[in-house]
Amino acid sequence: MNLENRAIIITGASSGIGEATAKKLAKHGAKVTLMARSEDKLKALKSDIENEGGKALVVPGDVTNKKDFDKVVEKTVSEFGKVDGLINNAGLMPLSFIDKLKTDEWEKMVDVNIKGVLNGVSAVLPEMKKNDNGDIINISSMAAHRYFPGGAVYCATKSAVKMFSEGLRQELAPKYGINVTSIEPGAVATNLTSTITDEDIKEKMSGMLEMETLESEDIANAVYYALSQPKRVNINDVYIVPSEQK
Ligand SMILES: NC(=O)c1ccc[n+]([C@@H]2O[C@H](COP(=O)([O-])OP(=O)(O)OC[C@H]3O[C@@H](n4cnc5c(N)ncnc54)[C@H](OP(=O)(O)O)[C@@H]3O)[C@@H](O)[C@H]2O)c1
């Protein structure tokens, strides 16, 4: 139980990687605050965690809204006494080819995948600075390392998250004891492709998912690995891909 009593906020906890991470961290003793827009799913997850003897708090919210994030921090502090960690996991991936000009989808990706991460950091930083302690884990992607068809904007958002993580680490870890990790998964079996509206991409994706992908629990294990290190150890990047993915 080496995460005993650590208060950790997880965004995008209502499904996939966020849900699996919340279960994993709670199992190891963390008190988890669950944030996403789907309140019903978060409540069901809280019950699952509590039935296993863990502690969870539901604070529904949208990561693009700074006030929602402030509420998440306030409630975490009032319920758990502090904020020890933030897992910036919420994200979406409506892939499309650039010449389709699906500009609303581009903006949504920038808002959630990049600005959502910035909002999370600005919300938790005063509390972490006060305590001279914290862990920030950003879920970037293999897409930060390489372009794939229809992924120009998505890859750009995940590259931004990866480079922002490195800047955060250099500015925060030595000065405030806040460790920062970027996790970069390849294909994971989740609902992430459900927001794709470009029919040409949908066809391409169906072929790609014939390989054996990672499970959300594999990424939860990577998050746990980064969080469970001694304070002197900062895991910078975890690049984790399915064995079958080229
Ligand atoms: N699956 C993969 O292959 C893969 C690979 C590399 C990286 N990733 C990254 O992993 C992260 C998690 O994705 P996933 O694969 O687990 O997909 P998922 O099952 O679709 O989960 C996405 C989560 O983000 C939340 N979310 C979306 N927009 C939000 C918003 N505006 N405010 C708050 N929460 C929001 C969703 O909850 P609500 O809809 O309830 O708000 C959901 O909980 C993403 O950042 C994704 O880019 C995934």
Cα of 112 vs centre of ligand 1, distance in Å, is 9
Residues 18-40: pLDDT tens digits? 999 999 999 999 999 999 999 99
Contact 63, 120 (CB under 8 A): yes
Q: Give the pLDDT confidence score for residue 152 in this predicted structure.
A: 98
Q: Give the pLDDT confidence score for residue 166 in this predicted structure.
A: 98
Cα of 20 vs centre of ligand 1, distance in Å, is 12
Residues 6+ apart with CB under 8 A from 82: 7, 76, 127, 131
Backbone angles phi, psi at 85, to 5 degrees: -155, 155
Of the two residues 202 and 184, the one the predictor is more confident about is 184
pTM beyond 0.85: yes
Cα 69 to the center of its chain, rounded Å? 14
Contact 244, 238 (CB under 8 A): no
Share of the chain above pLDDT 70, in %: 98
Residue 236: pLDDT over 90: yes
Residues 115-157: pLDDT tens digits? 999 999 999 999 999 999 999 999 999 999 999 999 999 999 9
Cα of 174 vs centre of ligand 1, distance in Å, is 30
Matching CATH number, 7-240, of 3.40.50.10310, 3.40.50.300, 3.40.50.720, 3.40.605.10: 3.40.50.720
| 193 Cβ below 6 A of ligand 1 | no
Q: Give the pLDDT confidence score for residue 205 in this predicted structure.
A: 76
Residue 197: pLDDT over 60: yes
Q: Is 154 a catalytic residue?
A: yes
Q: Give the pLDDT confidence score for residue 203 in this predicted structure.
A: 82
From 147, 154, 176, 224, the catalytic residue: 154
From CA 216, how far away is CA 183, in angstroms rounded? 13
From CA 134, how far away is CA 147, in angstroms rounded? 32
Residue 1: pLDDT over 60: no
Residues 6+ apart with CB under 8 A from 216: 16, 17, 19, 20, 21, 188, 189, 190
The Cβ of residue 204 has, within 10 Å, a number of other Cβ atoms equal to 14
Alpha helix segments (H runs only) across the chain: 16-27, 39-51, 66-80, 103-109, 116-131, 152-176, 199-208, 216-227
